[in-house]
Structure 1
Amino acid sequence: MTLGYRSILRLDDSENAVKVASEQFRSWLKSKHRDQRGYGTLDAYEWVGPGTHVMGPQAKLTVVEYSGEDASRRLLLRLEEENDSGTWRVSVTATSLPNGANAKQLIVVEVDTDAEIANGRPVSENTKPPTIIRSLLDVTKARDFHADIALTASPTVVDVDEVESLAVALLETRRTTSIVVAGCIPGAPLAPWSKIIGNLVWNSAGTTAAFVLTEAAQKQLNIRLTASHAVENGTVRTFLPGVEPADKADALRHRILYPGSLADSLTNEMRVRPSLVRVHAASARRQLLERPLPHEALRSARILEREELRAPGSSSTFLSSTPPAPSHTVQPKASEVQTAQQDQALDTSAVGRPTIQHPVFAEGNTVPIEVLDGLLQLFGTHAGSRELSLDNIQRFDKMLSKARSAIQTHSDRVDTLLDNINKVRDERDALKQEYENAEYELALEAEERRREAERRRHLERLAEFQSNELKSLQHFDTFEDPDDGLDESPKSVFDMLARIESEERVAKFIDFTGDLDQAMDLEIYDGFGRCAASFWEYVLIMRDYCLEKTERNFSGNLFGYLTSDQTLGRKCDPKRFSPTESASVKSNSKWRKERLLPVPDSVDSSNQVLMLAHFKTTLKDGVAPRMHIYDDIDGTGKIYIGYIGKHLSNTKTN
């Protein structure tokens, strides 16, 4: 099972997390109950006490409870359902710590699954928030675990009076929840804009707090933030935990959705296209999944895990079992009473033989026949004899003692194994954090290299301009760099594609004809924009190649341009570009078909061509993003990008 969703809700101290969780979970189950028309997946929605409860032909509910001596209460409710896609589990863990020092009332909602996700998308992208999370947000005053920021099911409009509270929450270093802040659209009404933002963050319920700024609030908030972390008009910025306004490099972590990209994603009904909703939720959800649980939540999870494992083998299950109600009774004879009293006086203190306390039957007491029959049957099965004798009782008591000892031994082993598992989990979480830090450092290094290359190209163009002026013995005019602003890296793949279309200096030669959703899927894997920056660099390289072809009469192809020392313009390591595919790909009809990609009918009447040439990014996390192109500069005067996305099928991906 893979964890695909998590939400951490800190309730008000006056609320009871266990009570709220039970009520809302029961209401949620009731909403899934099969009605008279056959709609629904559950046949039952009530339960009594801990254990496993069958709720339907393909659904079961697990309930685990724990009460501490300090008046603390912990509860796990887990619904497991099977459908055509696989097994899905929704878990709600409630913690009530009335005497706790920090979070006294806490609810954690998680969804995990073994379902196979279509198109290779990660589980965290395709797992939508369970319906119960919206109910919990509606009926509670849920907040971030550390920051004093409300978690609601819909965006909150922020005016000047609320800016300070928002700024404090943004800058809270221990914050666990991402905050989505939408800038204002000057002159536009807030209601429809807030509705669009609500649609955008629909899949972020429980993992983000969303806010829409008024014009005055935006100005006030940007005063608290630096220019690198500012929220501009019409933009939507996701602030991950750990905002550092004084660090310009930190701005890379807090992604921006630009107005043009958002506008392009709107349908005629002013709804945000599902692919953007899915992708926009990914970064906030991913960071919550990758962060370790807060201490209180982690402790509850581990306590309840132990309780669940201990429950099936607990000796209390047998000891607390209630015998069936008697239908007949038998009066012991006087001789039996006398024998029992005599046996009670026997010396049974020998080593290994525990003392047996025999019942003394008072006059008028009766023993049900079923109890005697059951006891004799028990002796016959486990002691080897149906005789109700002292030896058999002692033999049976020894067997029970051994069973208790074995249970305790297994319980201790379970505890040891859980300790080891939790240790590995902690080490894994630490490695994840190290990996994220390394990715961040790589993103910073890549950005610095791009800026250095931009400065170098600017100086080269300036030198060329000055040299031409000297050759013609003219006075120096003001140098206007024709590539000014082009090297600024896009913040996302969506932003990059929008710039290809809107930037005339690029659109003249480059045209994206591929599937937008496939391209946007890369946002799931690239939290710092490295992928978008790399692909934009390749776009500019192809644009400069086209300039060489059209303005300087370069006669070679793109690979020849990259390997020539006689051509001007941007270049990358030729190893990052493959003019064709391997023989195994070209000979496989299925794999070739994947590379038949769309082009205008001016290129081919079938509206598709085989695009084997492709650029590779340096992102190596199992996705290996690719950009497939078709060079038609000698025909229609353009290069067509038919695919941006994860590596297409070949011998390594299959």
Structure 2
Amino acid sequence: MAAVTLGAEASRSQTSRDYRAFMRSKDPAAVIETVTAEFTRWLGEKGLQQDSHEDARWASDSGSGQVQRETTEGAELLRCQLVEPGTSMGTWTTEVLAASEGWIDVSVSNSQGRFVAVPRLAKALMRDLDLRDASLQLLDNVKLWDVAELDMLVELLQDPDRHGLVLVAGTGPDPGLFDAFRARIHTWTREVFGLAQSIVLTPQATWALAERLSFHAVPAWTLRTYYPGVQPLDAIDSRRHRYMSTATLATEPDAYLRSVLGNVARAHAARRPEPIEVVEARRALDRAETAALLDRLDTPTERPSVTLPGRQETGETRVQTRDADTLPETRELVPQADVMAAIREILRLDEVSPETVRSAFNAMVDQVREAELEQIKTASLRIKEQAARIEELEDRVRLSDELLDDDILERALLQDEATRVNAEVRWLRARLREKEDYEAANGAPPDEFEIDYPQSCLELLDRIAEDDVLVFTGDREEVAAVDEVDTLQLAARAAWDACTSLREYARAHTDGKCSSGVDHFLRHRPAGYEGVSPGKHGATETGVTMRRFGGERVFAVPAEVDTSRSKTMTAHFKLARIGLFSPRLYYYDDLNRTGKIYIGYLGRHLTNTQTN
């Protein structure tokens, strides 16, 4: 399994870097046989000569796997799985679910959260079958579309049932640049096959699409990511569909652009609810597997046949006996027809003696023990898998409860803030009318009073690079991970508001209006200073969190702040509710010494007592 190490491994969500693709075939009847054949061939490439046409479980030094078939409600279900543990890059798990109804679900994950490249197995299936996402065929290439395909493109972009992304590149009237740009699109989108489709528009199609979609247009020499369910008339919705600017495409290395697009596609696949067909199929297969396992455990182990070499088919079993007073040379053989015949039959012995009975009994016990141990190992693995799944769900519930509590508190604070601001606006408008300044009283605010928010968290870092107060000392790749999931720029805007609050706090500190820290400033904000609601700020972490996970909150600072070049930072801003990622911004207030505030971390929610 190929892997691309992109850094910031520990901070990335494992599922956001896994490969997971859902596809439908135009030829449902060919799905089961094609998946079976390709999985068998793929195993052969790995040196595992396992025929996937029969149900089986197997294990070897290089890995373990299974092929399982079930029929439910007239549909044939297939699960092919391979687990490759013990590699230098962790454990790789590949699972393919398929149904005779015509769908295929391919997932590949890594235990260390490493980036999973497009699997060879997925590419082979896309070559062998006409696989589609909504109306678009999934191919291992980049399409070139002209004006004639615009109706199909707009329909595809608006389709809410589409699972994957659509990457659209716009071009301009520069023939010398067109071919080179088109070739680079293939390089940049190499890690999205099966997860997204890539389309290059001709200059005419780029212009025509702008006329039709307005807010959702793709400018020339840019690359835009379209999520399912585009709303063409909704300006707010256009914020979901981010694009890479001409400057970004021209200046960033190919590997960086490829990794960003690959991670965005994987993050979207991880966040999108699993198709109901896959959920029902996995449950049916799991139930059948569990039932079969319980049947094996409930059924008494069959007595194995113990056959010793050289057995003679005679009608009488003879046992060697020795009388205490009988010399060896006068020993006689005494027939024990009834008792010994039973022993002979049960133990399948030719000659009955203490040694042969003991040997046969031990062999039988070993075979029984081996069979039972195999069943116990299977049951143990099943229990561990289910326990891990339960633990993950418990973690999700705990973190969701924590985030919900934060949301409820923040909503209450925002309602109070909105009530106060609305009252202030009404009062100011009334005063303006009293002054007969009706244009100012009733008109919309001028554009210059609109907040110029950055389009991404990385752009925010570029803006504060020359700031007099704020200094970013963290890892830019952690920040890039936020941009991958921040489709509506909620985190980018919240981070900008947090930075504005820190600047305003520094201004109030300089003006002598606040000397008790950021939290006190936000809760008792002086008139004339801006700041976010106090609910979005955390002054510290709990003692339990710091004892158990305090090491995660040690971030880099310059030597003039601390000679160790690191500092524990507990004060933070809650940026946005984005699933379990829900990013945070941690900072260290050093205004009293260096006159700076150091932002040591901007990234995903760190581990606390609610997460694992």
- For the criterion TM > 0.5, the same-fold answer is yes
Matched, 1:17 2:31: yes
Equivalent residue of 2:131, what SS? Answer: coil
Letter matched to residue 265 of structure 2: A
Whole-Å separation in 2 of the counterparts to 1:567 and 1:500: 28
What's the secondary structure of 1:134's corresponding residue? helix
Task: Give the drift of 1:280.
Answer: 1.4
> Which SS does the other structure have where 1:50 is aligned?
coil
Query: What's 1:562 paired with?
Result: 522
Which residue does 2:209 correspond to in 1? 221
Deviation at 1:278, TM superposition (A): 5.2
Distance 1:24 1:597, change over 3 A: same
Residue 52 in 1 paired to residue 41 in 2? no
Q: CA 1:172 to 1:627, structure 2 compared with 1: closer, same or farther past 3 Å?
A: closer
The equivalent position to 1:539 in structure 2, one of 490, 494, 499, is 499
CA distance in structure 2 between the partners assigned to 1:13 and 1:623 by the alignment: 38
Q: Are 1:591 and 2:540 matched, yes or no?
A: no
Q: Does residue 1:206 correspond to 2:171, yes or no?
A: no
Contact 2:19–2:107 under 8 Å retained in 1: yes
The one-letter amino acid of 2:166's match is I
Give the corresponding residue for 1:27. 41
SS in 2 for 1:110: strand
Deviations 1:565-613 (A, max 9, x none): 534232123354355666778899x9368424234x6x55959352536
Partner of 1:76: 79
Contact 2:569–2:600 (Cα < 8 Å) also in 1: no
Instruction: Give the corresponding residue for 2:288.
Output: 306
Is 1:159 the equivalent of 2:146? yes
* Superposition deviation, residue 132 in structure 1: 1.0
Structure 1 Cα separation of the partners of residues 119 and 520 of structure 2: 53
> Does the aligned pair in 2 maintain the 1:93–1:107 contact within 8 Å?
yes
Give the share of equivalent positions with the same residue, in percent: 21
- How far residue 53 of structure 1 moved from its aligned partner, in angstroms, is 5.3
Distance 2:135 2:602 in 1: 41
Give, as a single letter, the amino acid of the residue that structure 1 aligns with 2:161.
Answer: R
Give distance in 2, aligned partners of 1:578 and 1:255: 31
Counterpart position of 1:612: 569
Match for residue 231 of structure 2? 244
TM-score when scaled to structure 1? 0.60
1: CA distance, partners of 2:104 / 2:592: 62
Aligned match of 2:167: 180
- Deviation (angstroms), 1:92: 2.3
User: Does 2:66 match 1:62?
Assistant: yes
Q: Which letter maps to 1:282?
A: R
Question: Residue in 2 aligned with 1:497?
Answer: 458
- Is 2:82 the counterpart of 1:95? no
SS of aligned partner of 1:143: strand
Structure 2 residue aligned with 1:388: none
Using the TM superposition, give the Cα deviation of residue 644 of structure 1 relative to its aligned residue in structure 2, in angstroms. 1.1
Q: Does the 8 A contact of 2:162 with 2:228 survive in 1? A: yes
Pairing 1:222-371 to 2, within 5 Å after superposition: 222-227=210-215, 229-252=216-239, 254-259=240-245, 262-263=248-249, 266-267=252-253, 270-272=254-256, 276-277=260-261, 279-288=263-272, 290-294=273-277, 298-299=280-281, 302=284, 306=288, 310=292
* Offset, 1:618: 6.2
Pick the aligned partner of 1:148 from 131, 135, 139: 135
More off after superposition, 238-247 vs 534-543: 238-247
* CA distance in 2 between partners of 1:482 and 1:68 (Å): 61
The number of residue pairs the alignment matches comes to 509
SS of the residue corresponding to residue 641 of structure 1 reads: strand
1:640 and 2:598 are equivalent in the alignment: yes
Amino acid of the structure 2 residue aligned with 1:542: L
Q: Please tell me the residue identity of whatever aligns with 1:79.
A: L
Contact 1:64 1:308 in 2 (8 A): no
How far 1:178 moved relative to its partner? 2.8
Q: Distance in 2 between matches of 1:377 and 1:250?
A: 83
Deviations 1:287-333 (A, max 9, x none): 44x233338x845873696379549869xxx9xxxxx9xxx9x9xxx
State whether residues 265 and 276 of structure 1, in contact with CA within 8 Å, keep that contact through their aligned partners in structure 2: no
What whole-Å deviation, never above 9, does each CA across 1:344-373 have from its counterpart, x for those lacking one?
xxxxxxxxxxxxxxxxxxxxxxxxxxxxxx
Residue 537 to residue 616, structure 1, CA distance change in 2 (3 Å): same
Bigger relative CO (Cα 8 Å, ≥ 6 apart): 2
User: Which residue of 131, 154, 158 corresponds with 2:120?
Assistant: 131
Cα distance in 2 between the residues matched to 1:576 and 1:638: 21
Which deviates the most, 255-264 or 82-91? 255-264
Q: Deviation of residue 28 (structure 1)?
A: 1.9
User: Residues 151 and 554 from structure 1, CA distance in 2 versus in 1: closer, same or farther, beyond 3 angstroms?
Assistant: same
**Alpha-carbon offset, residue 516 of structure 1:** 1.2
Distance of 1:651 and 1:541 partners within structure 2: 28
Partner of 2:108: 111
Alpha-carbon separation, structure 2, partners of 1:584 and 1:108: 41
3-state DSSP of counterpart to 1:205 = coil
2:451 corresponds to: 486
In 2, Cα distance between equivalents of 1:190 and 1:12: 33
The question of whether the paired residues in 2 share the 8 Å contact of 1:66 and 1:304 is answered with no
**Superimposed CA distance per residue, residues 508-528 of structure 1 (whole angstroms, 9 cap, x where no aligned partner):** 543423101222334566565
Inter-CA distance 77–162: structure 2 relative to 1 (3 Å threshold): same
1:608 aligned partner, one-letter code: R
Contact 1:548 1:568 in 2 (8 A): no
CA contact (8 A) 1:90 1:130 kept: no
Code of the residue aligned with 2:122 in structure 1: it is I
Paired AA for residue 7 in structure 1:
A
Distance in 2 (CA, whole Å) between partners of 1:106 and 1:29 is 21
Q: Given the superposition, is the C-alpha separation of residues 48 and 22 from structure 1 closer, same or farther in structure 2, using an over 3 Å criterion? A: closer
Query: Cα–Cα, structure 1 residues 298 and 586, in superposed 2: closer, same or farther, change >3 Å?
Result: closer
How far is the alpha carbon of 1:184 from its aligned partner?
A: 3.6
Distance in structure 1 (CA, Å) of the matches to 2:285 and 2:566: 59
Residue in 2 that maps onto 1:473: none
Aligned residue for 1:513? 473
Instruction: For 1:182, give the aligned amino acid.
Output: A
Q: What pairs with 1:399-438 in structure 2 (closer than 5 Å)?
A: none
CA distance in 1, matches of 2:586, 2:534: 15
Provide the C-alpha distance between the structure 1 equivalents of 2:178 and 2:464, rounded to a whole number of angstroms. Answer: 30
Deviation at 1:137, TM superposition (A): 2.0
Instruction: Note closer, same or farther for the CA distance 1:500–1:272 as it changes in structure 2 (3 Å cut).
Output: closer
Instruction: Decide whether aligned partners of structure 1 residues 221 and 291 sit closer, same or farther in structure 2, where only a CA change above 3 A counts.
Output: farther
CA RMSD of aligned residues (A): 5.8
Conserved in 1, the CA contact under 8 Å of 2:25 and 2:131?
Answer: yes
Q: Are the equivalent residues in 1 in contact too, given 2:575–2:584 (CA < 8 A)? A: no
Q: Structure 1, residues 370-403: CA drift from partner, whole Å, max 9, x if none?
A: xxxxxx9999669xxxxxxxxxxxxxxxxxxxxx
> For residues 545 and 645 of structure 1, do their structure 2 counterparts lie closer, same or farther at Cα, with a shift above 3 Å needed?
same
The code of the aligned residue for 1:62 comes to Q
**Per-residue deviation at 1:558?**
3.9
For 2:603, give the aligned amino acid.
G
Question: How far, CA to CA, are the matches of 2:81 and 2:63 in structure 1?
Answer: 10
Contact 1:9 1:108 in 2 (8 A): yes
User: 2:7: which partner in 1?
Assistant: none
2:597 partner amino acid: I
CA contact (8 A) 2:458 2:483 kept: no
Q: How far does the alpha carbon of each residue in 1:545-568 deviate from its partner, in whole angstroms, 9 at most, with x for none?
A: 445566x67564544543445342
Task: Give the superposition deviation at 1:149.
Answer: 0.5
Aligned-pair CA distance for 1:30: 2.9
